[in-house]
Amino acid sequence: MNHRIHRRTFSSATLQGATALAIGAAAPSGWMQSLSATLSGQPTSQDRVLVVIQLTGGNDGLNTVVPHTNELYYKARPKLAIPKEDVLKFNSDVGLHPSMRGIASLMEDKKFCVIQGVGYPNPNRSHFESMDIWHSCQRKESRNSDGWLGRYFSQLIHPMSAAPTDSCGLHLGTEQLPLALVARGVQTPSLASIEQLRWKGKSESIMARDEIEKMPRAKREVDTETNLLDFVSASTTAAMQASERLEKALATPDSSGDFPNSQLGEKLKIVSRLLLAGLKTKVYYVTLDGFDTHANQLVAHSGLMRQWSEALRSFHQRLDSAGLGERVLVLTFSEFGRRVAENASQGTDHGAAAPAFLSGPKLENTLVGNQPSLSDLDDSDLKFHTDFRCVYATLIEDWLGASSKNILTAEHPKITQLGLQL
Partner 1 sequence: MISKTIPANSRLEDIDPTIAWQTWEPSDEEPWDNRRASLLHRRAGFAATQEELHATLSLRPEFVVANMVRSETGNNSDVGTFESDSAELAKAVLATSDAKQLAAWWLHRMLNTPTPLVEKMTLFWHGHFATGAEKVQDAELMRSQNTLLRDNALGNFQNLAQGIAKDPAMLIYLDSVSNRKAHANENFARELMELFCLGEGNYSEADVQQLAKCFTGWEIRRKQFRFNPYQHDDSKKMLLGKSGIESGESAIDCVLASPHMPRFIVRKLFRFFVSEDANPSDAFLGPIADQFVKSNYSIASVVQSILGSRLMLSGWSIGRKVRSPIELAIGWMRTMRCTTNVGFLSDRLRTIGQAVLFPPNVKGWEGGRAWINSSTLVGRANLIYELIHHDKTRFDGVTLLAFAERNHAKDPDQLAAWFAKLFFIDDLSGTERERLMKSLDPSKPDRWATQSMVYLTSLPRIHLS
Residue ranges binding partner 1 (CB under 8 A): 2-4, 7, 56, 124-129, 140, 171, 174-177, 189-192, 196-201, 204-208, 210-212, 228-229, 231-233, 235-236, 238-239, 242-243, 289, 292, 294-295, 341-345, 347, 349-350, 379
How many Cβ atoms are within 10 Å of 208's Cβ, its own excluded? Answer: 13
Query: 311 forms bridges with which residues in the sheet?
Result: none
Q: 44 or 343: whose CB is closer to partner 1? A: 343
Closest separation in Å from C-beta 374 to partner 1: 18
H or E element, residue 152: helix 148-156
Q: 74 or 199: whose CB is closer to partner 1? A: 199
Q: 233 or 404: whose CB is closer to partner 1? A: 233
According to DSSP, the β-strands at 112-119 and 386-387 are parallel
Closest separation in Å from C-beta 347 to partner 1: 6
DSSP 56: E
Q: 335 or 387: whose CB is closer to partner 1? A: 335
Q: 151 or 350: whose CB is closer to partner 1? A: 350
Contacts 24+ apart (CB under 8 A), 156-159: 156/30, 156/282, 156/402, 157/28, 157/185, 157/186, 158/28, 158/29, 158/30
d(CA 330, CA 358): 5
Cβ distance 197 to 242 under 8 Å? yes
Closest separation in Å from C-beta 143 to partner 1: 12
Q: 110 or 217: whose CB is closer to partner 1? A: 217
Which amino acid type is present at position 389? R
User: In b/e form, how buried is each residue of 297-315, taking b as 16+ CB within 10 angstroms?
Assistant: beeebbebbbbbbbbbbbb
Closest separation in Å from C-beta 146 to partner 1: 13
Closest separation in Å from C-beta 246 to partner 1: 9
Closest separation in Å from C-beta 326 to partner 1: 30
Q: Which of 141, 227, 154 is nearest to 184 (CA)?
A: 154
Q: 346 or 366: whose CB is closer to partner 1? A: 346
Q: 91 or 145: whose CB is closer to partner 1? A: 145
d(CA 181, CA 82): 36
Closest separation in Å from C-beta 140 to partner 1: 7
d(CA 18, CA 242): 10
Q: CA angle 116-419-60, nearest 5°?
A: 20
Question: Which stretches does DSSP call E strand in 192-351?
Answer: 283-289, 328-334
Closest separation in Å from C-beta 291 to partner 1: 11
d(CA 34, CA 353): 37
Q: CA angle 139-143-149, nearest 5°?
A: 100
Q: 342 or 398: whose CB is closer to partner 1? A: 342
Closest separation in Å from C-beta 232 to partner 1: 4
Closest separation in Å from C-beta 147 to partner 1: 13
- Edge-to-edge strand order for the sheet containing 94-96? 65-67, 94-96, 88-89
Q: 232 or 422: whose CB is closer to partner 1? A: 232
Helix (H, G, I), strand (E, B) or coil at 352: coil
Closest separation in Å from C-beta 22 to partner 1: 16
Q: Which of 375, 399, 372 is nearest to 386 (CA)?
A: 372
Q: 11 or 365: whose CB is closer to partner 1? A: 11
